[in-house]
Chains A and B, each alone.
Chain A
Amino acid sequence: MGKEVVQRSDLDALFEALKRRGYRIVGPRVRDGAIVYDELSSVSDLPEGWTDEQEGGTYRLKRRDDLALFGYAVGPHSWKKFLFPPALRLWSAERESGSFTIHAACEETPPLAFIGVRSCEIHAIAIQDRIFQEGRYVDPHYKKTRENIFLLALNCGQAGGTCFCVSMNTGPRATFAFDLALTEVLDGSLHYFVVEAGTQKGAAILREIPHRPAAAREEEGAERVIASTAARMGRTMKTDGIKELLYSNLEHPRWNDVASRCLTCGNCTLVCPTCFCSTVEDSTDLKGEKAERWRKWDSCFTMDHSYIHGGSVRATSRSRYRQWMTHKLATWIDQFGTSGCVGCGRCITWCPVAIDITEEVRAIRGEEGR
């Protein structure tokens, strides 16, 4: 399938085509001083003309001097909030005649269309696919939600201040698992998208939007955008031998150093697009006749996470930070075949004390500087 061009002014047709098919459209919009993922009804809901400035422990929105629709990196939300919801009822039960019956929760929800998924995020979704669908057991809710997603990828035109997808081989170009992939190009008075269909589903939607084959110079324009993003990464991380490095440095003095800074607030686990730890809450109504079980997001930074009879296995912040980072970069590889990190930089941006995972790795390697 060759590349096509869609003009910015025709983009609303995309939304209409998706709505016609009954999709609930979600994507980036400005709210509470950040760009978050929420419901979208048209192009005008997108953060037109906004960009973000990100650094360790810092996130600010700033106005651009152009009208790019996707001129920013990633915000505190990730697509896991839709595929792996923060709170999910697993089942409800009723007591009856000495026993009880359980009803699996199966809410019918409209299929979701993800607008503007970055390459790093596609990798993150693929990583969670492996956890929830390709293990010994399959999470039925994840599977049902996932198979109906329409995924519109966006090749980043703006590198984030804490991004390092190039180091992690996860971007900035989307290479798989998308229905449509767009690259936004602003060239003088021109504002268009170079579009690639990844599936028949994507091609079918594209057919309902005004489009034409991309000219060579337009494709080059898109390539320049992607190359420019790749050259402006905010961070780097050397990943060779990282698993053995962390496995053989479980008592490295650096862990004490990071423990003196880490608040165990868990922000990193909340914003990380691959973190998947959860807890379960069992409750009843006041009469004790109806019960429910809910699954909720949890974090390995809580004392609860490793609690067994009378105490937590990981009682110190040192052990909990070590668990998070060693899991993300090392044990994940043994568990799922890939790194758990996609280089999105969220954990660096949203850490209140600006702990930088790339810096921590360098310190354990014994290397100085950035």
Chain B
Amino acid sequence: MIDTLEPILKEHSFFRGFSAEHVRILVGCASNVRFASGETIFRSNEEANRFYLIREGKVAIEVFVPGRGALTIQTLGAGEVLGWSWLFPPYRWNFDALAVEETRAFALDGRCLREKCEGNHDLGYELMKRFSAIIIERLQATRLQLIDVYGGELAK
């Protein structure tokens, strides 16, 4: 199973620039997963030990607000990365994630990766670089959403 994953894994945009050796290490922590439309991927406060590289489909990140119900903060699609709470303690999800459509993804074992990164700092640095970029981009997008450009005073 792991052998056949490697070529497919390498195609995912997340792995662009990784050395062959690093890809092999990551493949050791990877598995193929599938979520049916409407299926919950993870729930807020559950242990966060995986992250997902979405191959196909659409995932919604939600937060439940009492009185307002479940609100979708962001949707992610093919090529995008879901989940970074596995990086730092307490390793717990802060939001809910569910598949809006039938979704296929690579699941990477966070615990396994954390151990590998402690032992191989080069790998750790490559992973950190990519995650930082993702988080920065997500933060900038969130800030834009936060200032509510289309509503009220700033609306066109």
Contact = CB atoms under 8 A, between A and B. Distances in A.
A188 interface: no
A286 B105 CA distance: 69
A311 B153 CA distance: 7
Interface string B116-156: 00000000000000000000000000000000000011111
A31 interface: no
A201 B64 CA distance: 84
Given A309-B153, A309-B156, A311-B153, 5 more contacts: A309-B154, A309-B155, A310-B152, A310-B153, A310-B154
Nearest to A311: B153
A301 B53 CA distance: 55
Nearest to B156: A309
Interface of B: 152-156
The A contact surface, by secondary structure, is loop
8 contacts: A309-B153, A309-B154, A309-B155, A309-B156, A310-B152, A310-B153, A310-B154, A311-B153
A309 B156 CA distance: 8
Contacts of B155: 309
A137 to B, nearest CB: 26
Interface in A301-354: 309-311
Contacts of B154: 309-310
A311 to B, nearest CB: 6
Contacts of A310: 152-154
A309 B154 CA distance: 7
Per DSSP, chain B at the interface is helix
Contacts of A311: 153
A309 B149 CA distance: 12
Q: Interface size bucket, A side?
A: under 10
Nearest to B152: A310
Nearest to B155: A309
A310 B152 CA distance: 8
B78 to A, nearest CB: 37
Contacts of B152: 310
Nearest to A310: B153
A358 B145 CA distance: 45
B108 to A, nearest CB: 46
B149 to A, nearest CB: 12
Closest 4 CB pairs of A and B: A310-B153, A311-B153, A309-B153, A309-B155
A352 to B, nearest CB: 33
A114 B61 CA distance: 74
A183 B154 CA distance: 58
A147 B98 CA distance: 75
B154 to A, nearest CB: 8
A118 to B, nearest CB: 46
B117 to A, nearest CB: 44
Contacts of B156: 309
A194 to B, nearest CB: 61
A311 B155 CA distance: 11
Nearest to B153: A310
B151 to A, nearest CB: 11
Contacts of A309: 153-156
A310 B156 CA distance: 11
B156 to A, nearest CB: 8
B94 to A, nearest CB: 34
A307 B153 CA distance: 11
B50 to A, nearest CB: 45
B56 to A, nearest CB: 41
B100 to A, nearest CB: 34
A308 to B, nearest CB: 9
A310 B151 CA distance: 11
A309 B151 CA distance: 11
Interface string A177-209: 000000000000000000000000000000000
A236 to B, nearest CB: 45
Interface in A275-313: 309-311
B55 to A, nearest CB: 43
A309 B155 CA distance: 8
Contacts of B153: 309-311
A310 B149 CA distance: 13
